[in-house]
Amino acid sequence: MARRCPESKFIGLGILRGWKWFINTRRYANVVRSPEDLVHGLVYEMSPSDEASLDRSEGVPRAYTKETMEIELQLADGGEKSVVQCLVYIDERRVEEGEPWEEYVHRMNMGINDATARGLPKWYVDKYMRGSIPAEGKKVVGASEEEVFHHAATNAKPKV
């Protein structure tokens, strides 16, 4: 995130309930409605210039659209949990599961490492991510396609 959005500020961990993370047929991360699932991820505040930069790198509006959604936020400083509005990138056209690009697996693993260092639960990584994003140096054969929301939580501001 620091490379693509240098002015961004990590503010905490987010949970998007009723959605599921997966790799789509475009071979990149996406989220779809799924009542029994949830998406865990990192939440950042971003400047307008960082948001514009992220839009370009994510391919908005060609590859992804942006929606504002309610998430549960646990602030990084350990403050109380709250519900906030958060910007989420979604590919509404490609909602079938696929396999990630080989180079994307490496990038996702870097994101997983950053996220777990900031508190992303290991059980979430194991359940949703490792089926399609094997840990570096490991291969998964016949795995399901699911993972973290790398493209999801950005621009969150707590409601006051």
Domain boundaries, the chain: 9-158
Helix (H, G, I), strand (E, B) or coil at 52: helix
- Give pLDDT, residue 78: 87
- Residue 150 confidence (pLDDT) above 80: no
- Give pLDDT, residue 80: 86
Q: What homologous superfamily does CATH list for 9-158?
A: Gamma-glutamyl cyclotransferase-like (3.10.490.10)
Structure confidence by residue, pLDDT tens digits, 63-104:
999 999 999 999 998 888 999 999 999 999 999 999 999 999
Among candidate residues 39, 54, 41, 72, the one with its CA nearest the CA of residue 8: 54
pLDDT, averaged across the chain: 86
Tell me if 145 sits within 8 A of 97, measured CB to CB. yes
Confidence of residue 138 (pLDDT cuts 50, 70, 90): low
Among candidate residues 21, 13, 16, 12, the one with its CA nearest the CA of residue 129: 21
The tokens 């599961």 sit on which residue?
Answer: 97
**Half-sphere exposure in the Cβ direction for 6 (13 Å, CA):** 1
Q: What percent of the chain has pLDDT over 70?
A: 85
Look up residue 138 and give its two tokens: 């490991």
- Give pLDDT, residue 139: 52
- Residue 122 confidence (pLDDT) above 90: yes
Q: What is the pTM of this model?
A: 0.80
Structure confidence by residue, pLDDT tens digits, 2-15:
888 999 999 999 99
